[in-house]
Amino acid sequence: MNKKAKNVILIILAFLIVIIEMIPILVVISNSFKRDIDIFSSTPFSTNFTLKSYISVLKDRTFLRGIKNSLIVALISSAFSVIVGAMASYGITRYKFKGKKFVAYSFLTSRMIPQISLAVPMYMLFRSLNLLDNVFSLTLAHISFNIPYVIWLLLPFFAAIPKEFEEAAKVDGCGEKKIFWVIFIPLVSPGLVVSFVFSFIMSWNEFLYALILTNIRAKTAPLVVNAYLGQYAPMWGKLSAAGTLMLIPAFVITLTLQKYIIKGLMAGGVKG
Amino acid sequence: MSLKNKKKRGNFPLFFLMPAILSAFVVLIFPIVYATGLSFFEWNLVSTQNRAFVFLKNYINLFKDKIFWSALLKQFGFIFIAIPIELVIGFFVAILMNRQFKGVNILRSLLLLPVFILPILSGLTWSFMLQPEYGTINYFLSLIGLKQKAFLAYPGSAYAAVVIQDIWRMWPFMFILLYAGLSTMPKELEEAAIIDGANFFEKLYYVIVPYLKPTIVMAILLRTIDALRIFSEVYVMTGGGPGNGTLLLSLYINKQAFEYFNIGYASAMAIILIISSLILTRFLIKNSFDLGESYE
């Protein structure tokens, strides 16, 4: 076989793999534009395009409140984690102090602690503080995985900045805090954006804490999506429409942040 | 920097680290200490009896708990089946995509999508596709004349379905890390092998795999830690059933804590799960995350 023919075959193979990989996502999206009756018919190719599921989902107060809660929890926990995490990351990379390695590795380690293990004591704590089903306590829970993640993701960003920058700033009479805010924060801003986006996605996808720590008021969108499954008659149309809407952030980041995604994944994946 | 300067900076690391350390105390350290404490008590939230200090009894009972062992076994089975398959697929697709052709960038982006998808949406979608009457997979099976099956109704096939769901979602994770590793590989290495007359498999064995080894180790460890705490996708797909067919560790803890309300017993398991992932994380740190000179 000549080289060109071989190449063509390999390219076709690559396309095939991607198409097969996309099937489950296409199934969700196509179900979201179908009537339930067509979803329950045995052929996946029935076409009766409708926006009914979207309309009923967007009219559903529970789902809208879920989205609102998800947004609040994700935005606040990510913003807080990025600020606090950036400070810590800066402290670790730019200073010498005793026990530094221990501190740095402890933060990495804590990112790897299984959520269910923290969920049990958190449930008991929030229960005794009357903070179950509360957006604030859910945000706290999300901070437990977002802060370590941000710190670890930002370490290389801070480390990459040459010492001369801060020395020059010091000569100009900049104080320690000012150096951080005025010199470093703008320089690591790509890292800040990436860590914010990844934290956001982790919170957005998070299900376990929401399942255990919330009930009605603080319920997040993934729980509402799951509830469409129902006890007896699954509402696949609504489920798919809501699920497709929730996919939008994933679409946006995979298309825009490709360059940074590897760094983000190496800092410990994106699972909520 | 002069010595004097260094000294003067002495108080500042604390200033920058304090907010993170304080937060960690509230949301990580305190809960872990509290869980450790809880694990020494027999405490059922629905029973009228008060909690009783039983020291290690929960841990001893765990050893005698058949469901715990089966959950552990299923967890490790999951790790040993899913991760190697994900690695192999990711590896070969990384090699396949490591060439320039039109559209390769779009293909690569598309492959990232499953990794970022909501885990519960993945679980729900697979359970839809596996439905006996209207599921997509059964439709295709019926096209080639096979009988429709209720995949999620039997422990064995439900377990397989859970594993396949994970493979579908996470092989691209392996792919992207290995692809990143491959793209940094010096061209000369490959060219030298070709000049030496190496065929594809020799090239793999002597050049590509050794070069990618650190990336492979790190990818495996990251996925293993991830697989140890898998929860939501399995929870929405099978709820741990049928029977206890897909009851992995996290699901069993959840069941003990929030269905039976055995808080002490669940905490003992939670602590064991934490210890296991800490051990794995140590390997990860040793092998993959080097803080390097710049952090010393």
Q: What percent of chain B has pLDDT over 90?
A: 60
Task: Kindly report the backbone phi and psi dihedral angles of residue B262, in degrees, each rounded to the nearest multiple of 5, phi listed first.
Answer: -85, 80
- Per-residue pLDDT at A88: 95
Whether the CB of B134 is below 8 Å from some CB of chain A: the reply is: yes
Nearest to B253 among A23, A116, A261 (CB): A116
Interval A198-256: pLDDT, tens? 999 999 999 999 999 999 999 999 999 999 998 778 899 999 999 999 999 988 888 88
Quick check: B174 and B87 in contact, CB under 8 A? Answer: yes
Question: Which residues of B are less than 8 Å from A85 in CB distance?
Answer: 20
**Contact map slice: A 91-150 vs B, CB within 8 A:** 91-93, 95-97, 100-101, 103-110, 112-125, 140-141, 143-144, 147-148
Question: Which residues of A are less than 8 Å from B26 in CB distance?
Answer: 140
**Using CA atoms in the order B228, B234, B240, B246, what is the torsion angle rounded to 10 degrees?**
-60
- Per-residue confidence at B7, pLDDT binned at 50, 70, 90? very low
Quickly list DSSP for A159-224. HTS-HHHHHHHHHTT--HHHIIIIIIHHHTHHHHHHHHHHHHHHHHH--HHHHHH-SSTT--HHHH
Report, as an integer, the average pLDDT of A173-202: 90
Residue B122: pLDDT over 90: yes
- Per-residue confidence at B290, pLDDT binned at 50, 70, 90? low
Give the pTM.
0.92
**A151/B241: higher pLDDT:** A151
CA angle A154, B285, A99 (to 5 degrees): 70
- Per-residue pLDDT at B10: 56
Report, as an integer, the average pLDDT of A128-139: 96
Interval B18-64: pLDDT, tens? 999 999 999 999 999 999 999 999 998 888 778 889 989 999 999 99
Q: Give the CA distances from residue A30 to residues A22, A23, A26, A47, B138, in Å, rounded to whole numbers and listed in that order.
A: 12, 10, 6, 9, 17
Interval B181-204: pLDDT, tens? 998 888 888 788 878 888 888 888
Whether the CB of A227 is below 8 Å from some CB of chain B: the reply is: no
